[in-house]
Structure 1
Amino acid sequence: MTVIKKSDFIDSVESALQYISYYHPKDFIDSLFEAYKREENPAAKDAMAQMLINSRMCAEGKRPICQDTGIVTAFVKIGMEVQWDSDMTVQQMVDEGVRRAYQNQDNPLRASIVQNPVGPRVNTKDNTPAVVHVEMVPGDKVDVTVAAKGGGSENKSKFVMLNPNDSIVDWVLKTVPTMGAGWCPPGMLGLGIGGTAEKAMVMAKESLMDPINIHELIEKGPETPVEKLRVELYEKVNELGIGAQGLGGLTTVLDIKINDCPTHAASLPVAMIPNCAATRHAHFELNGSGPSFIEAPSLADWPVITQEKSDNIKEVNLDNISQDEIESWKPGDTLLLSGKILTGRDAAHKRIKDLLDSGESLPEGVDFENRFIYYVGPVDPVRDEVVGPAGPTTSTRMDKYSEMMLNSKSEGGLGLMGMIGKAERGDTALAAIKKNKAVYLMAVGGAAYLVSKAIKESRVVAFEELGMEAIYEFEVKDMPVTVAVDTNGDSVHKTGPQIWKVKIQESK
């Protein structure tokens, strides 16, 4: 009979969550580097370069790969011969490990979990509770896989109940383009096929814990129906031309993972969950001999990539910018931003709208006129940091506020000049951008630590009680962004994939 101590389990969960916050799996780095070397679209190649540089920086500095340090999911498989030396449930022990990991003083992780999802959505402050799946299995050990899933990719999860003879391939190829770029491709797509609705979703999530091995599968040749489906989807999804960050390119997915199980004769449940550029998962086993700590990888596993300034990159002073200057920018242009920007995301935008609707003034010091806003919720700083990892959040969530933010003050708006975030904008935002001759700039999702190094000063200017969703003012120096939507409302997220889908088809 194996006895598992409470402290060993909690310590192991805490250690694993800290580990995955700053170490990418080697298989992911290898696969992303190969995709980087193959990529022909300069914008997509640059995005992958930033992801790889960011990854190495995080491994060296032991700081989060992404500012969204995720909601924790744990798959706990308990041997039937295991006995617990604990006064806590498995859920409680996982939560305690999460609490300690996310409040670690050397590497604090962002608390993103809110209680009462239907409101009021109040942050729990320690990123608990986790989502825990417990399975009883033969044996005398406890097998644990932990993952931290960012909201940008989790929000793109899809489920469908197909008819038994419907095409899974057709559904995936129809659905992936509707997911946009908020999941920060290139990453993995996990599919769960069969069972019931909830079983399919859990299988899809768990499939993302497997290593990337699609090229080994292609080399040996697929044999089973699932293997053949994986290869077919891998090739056809990449032929969509969506590319890194949705900019258009050769690689949209690094692998397709599939778990399946028996289902009802009348049913074909299919779940699809993407994993983003911040691929975070780790596996450990407890056998009663003490806690389990994962060995740190070698920095030699990371490629050394540098980015050089080119003549095509435009340096922009946001403190002295004119309307004529922003109207000269074209979709796909690379900019280096310097100057002061304000931040704000979901909760801040809602608070602003509530104030305007009630006829109240904005807090002192908050003036968006002729300024740029950055959609971000940063990690708390440590040591000599100005701010912790501070990558962009998905911009489409702020689309419904675009007119309010961009319209001139004479029209009842706030006179914002431009927005910075990740992924595409919807039709509502595009119309507001075009009407107001504003712009939308894209920072790379999955490069949070790299972006944070461009932030030289930071201060909270409003809504401090919102934590990471407060409004900050950042002073930035050479912050890299891409023009995603110009003042005419033309979007690189619409044109890029269209162009590269054709190029890929023509090259076949």
Structure 2
Amino acid sequence: MLLAKEAMNEPIDMSELIARGPSSAEEALRIELYERINALGIGAQGLGGLTTVVDVKVATYPTHAASKPVALIPQCAANRHLTLTLDGKGPAQLQPPDLSQWPQIGPEDLQTTGVRRVNLDELTRGETTSWRCGETLLLSGKMLTGRDAAHKRMVDLIDAGKPLPVDLRGRVIYYVGPVRAVRDEVVGPAGPTTSSRMDDFTEKMLAETGLYAMVGKAERGPAAIESIVRHKTPYLIAVGGAAYLISKSIKAARIVAFEDLGMEAIYEFEVQDMPVIMAVDVEGNSVHNSGPIEWRKRMAADSIARNIGV
């Protein structure tokens, strides 16, 4: 695992490697894995696309032939590091993201792009069941948060026949553990966590609480999708890796339950135009299934066209 950690922090240099060609078996394996993974059409956030990974690192070390230990570290951490040099001339200057890159969507854009605004404070079951897989929504109003620890506590309370500390009926829950606010921040970075960790709790939560929708990151498992269909409670995804930018759409935040859990406490956020994508609709359609399939078709068609010279 130490070797894998060291490899993860190496510079992203796949384009240079492909340009010069491999000079070792490890480098040849890097290129092979990079090309074959991207040929899967999984894409960023699992939504389909030409780029699933930006680089693949391979590091080896002598070991007993009977052991063959393997350690894997996923990409997300590799995209969150930077390199700086402390040379004694003063503090390091880290440039924050340019907030002008955050989309400014006006009424005219909503008509031309198909993006729709959602008022969470007036949400109805009828509205949520009209959302369709792949649609972009801008959420405004009050939503609750909760991740692993909070879900475990809520399910334990339900099983014990005890009331929950917060009413979830008609609410949207966001799978997030926000970073503590500093200075004049309303809340710290508040990016979505991987939703599959909530899959074991999903059936009980949807059956017993009256939730209207869930927001998280990445795909849901088959059992969770069955619960989404059964209880007509759609699942949306926020943009993974954009925790700081997402926090700019949060205008107020307060802890409403389980304060002792720290960042895993249940918060109530008031958001304005928080962008999300419909990932699993109430009919069970999943963008994490349809997206890669569509891109594999496009990539195969492009490959055939190149081979016949079209």
TM over 0.5: yes
Gaps of 5+ in 1: 1-200, 408-412
Given residue 503 of structure 1, which amino acid in structure 2 is its aligned partner? R
What is the alpha-carbon distance in structure 1 between the residues aligned to residue 299 and residue 217 of structure 2? 25
> Identity over aligned residues, as a percent?
56
Letter in 1 for 2:81: R
For residues 362-391 of structure 1, the C-alpha deviation after alignment (integer angstroms, 9 at most, x for no partner) is: 22xx11111110111111112222111111
| 2:301 aligned partner | 506
- Of 113, 120, 128, the residue aligned with 1:318 is 120
Query: Within 1, Cα distance between the matches of 2:179 and 2:4?
Result: 29
- Does the CA-based 8 Å contact 1:284-1:294 persist in structure 2? no
Q: What is the 5 A alignment of 1:473-492?
A: 473-492=268-287
Relative to structure 1, is the Cα distance of residues 292 and 225 closer, same or farther in structure 2, using a 3 angstrom cutoff?
Answer: farther
Of 39, 64, 67, the residue aligned with 1:264 is 64
Q: Which string of whole-angstrom CA distances, capped at 9 and with x for unpartnered residues, describes residues 222-281 of structure 1?
A: 121111111111111111111111111111111111111223344533322113064225
Pairing partner for 2:93 from 296, 301, 304: 296
8 A contact 1:417–1:438 mirrored in 2: yes
Which of 491, 496, 504 matches 2:291?
496
Which letter does structure 1 place at the counterpart of 2:64? H
Runs ≥4 in structure 1, deviation > 6 angstroms?
290-294, 301-304
One-letter code of the match for 1:323?
Answer: R
Q: Distance in 2 between matches of 1:293 and 1:350?
A: 46
Indicate conservation of the 8 Å contact 1:343/1:375, yes or no.
Answer: yes
Is 1:345 the counterpart of 2:147? The answer is: yes
The 1:292–1:208 alpha-carbon spacing in structure 2 relative to 1, beyond 3 Å, is farther
Counterparts of 1:397 and 1:415, CA distance in 2 = 20
**2:154 is equivalent to residue 357 of structure 1:** no
Moved more, 261-270 or 439-448: 261-270
Shift of 1:489: 1.5
What residue is the counterpart of 1:279 in the other structure? 80
Alignment match, 1:449: 244
Q: Normalized per residue, which structure has more strand?
A: 1
The two structures, once aligned, show a CA RMSD in angstroms of 2.3
Kindly indicate whether the alpha-carbon contact (under 8 Å) linking 2:144 and 2:174 is maintained by their aligned counterparts in 1.
Answer: yes
Secondary structure, counterpart of 1:271 in structure 2: coil
Report the equivalent of 2:261. 466
1:206 matched to 2:3? The reply is no
Aligned length: 296
Alignment-derived partner of residue 306 in structure 2: none
With over 3 angstroms needed to count, the CA separation of the structure-2 counterparts of 1:266 and 1:349, relative to structure 1, is closer
SS in 2 for 1:268: coil
Structure 1 residues 302 and 268: CA distance shift in structure 2, 3 A: farther
Task: Give 5+ residue unaligned stretches, structure 2.
Answer: 304-310
Contact 1:318-1:337 within 8 A present in 2 as well: yes
Between the aligned partners of 2:14 and 2:160, the Cα distance in structure 1 is 55
1:396 to 2:191 alignment? no
CA contact (8 A) 1:284 1:292 kept: no
Aligned match of 1:120:
none
Are 1:433 and 2:228 matched, yes or no? yes
Mapped to 2, the partners of 1:235 and 1:328 lie a distance apart of: 38
Secondary structure at 1:391 match in 2 = coil
- In the alignment, residue 256 of structure 2 is paired with which amino acid? V
Q: In structure 2, what is the Cα distance between the partners aligned to 1:442 and 1:354?
A: 26
In the other structure, the counterpart of 2:209 is 414
Distance 2:223 2:259 in 1: 29
Partner Cα separation in structure 1 for residue 43 and residue 184 of structure 2: 36
Distance 1:354 1:269 in 2: 38
CA contact (8 A) 2:191 2:243 kept: yes
**Superposition pairs of residues 126-141 of structure 1, within 5 angstroms:** none
Contact 1:419-1:440 at 8 Å conserved across structures: yes
The corresponding residue for 2:21 is: 221
Whole-Å separation in 1 of the counterparts to 2:231 and 2:190: 28
1:50-129 superposed matches below 5 A = none
Say if 1:265 and 1:362 are closer, same or farther in 2 by CA, change over 3 A: closer
Question: How far did 1:303 drift?
Answer: 11
Q: Work out whether residues 239 and 505 of structure 1, in 8 Å CA contact, stay in contact via their aligned partners in 2.
A: no
Question: In structure 2, how many angstroms separate the alpha carbons of the residues matched to 1:304 and 1:325?
Answer: 31
AA aligned to 2:297 is V
- Does 1:381 find its partner at 2:181? yes
Matches within 5 A, 1:7-18: none
Aligned 1:232-243 pairs, distance under 5 A:
232-243=32-43
- 2:84 and 2:92 in contact (8 A); partners too: no
Q: Which amino acid aligns with 2:124?
A: S
Report the Cα distance in structure 2 between the residues aligned to 1:328 and 1:349, rounded to whole angstroms. 27
TM-superposition CA deviations, 1:400-429 (whole Å, max 9, x none): 11112111xxxxx01111100111111121
- Who is 1:372 aligned against? 172
**1:214 CA drift (Å):** 0.7
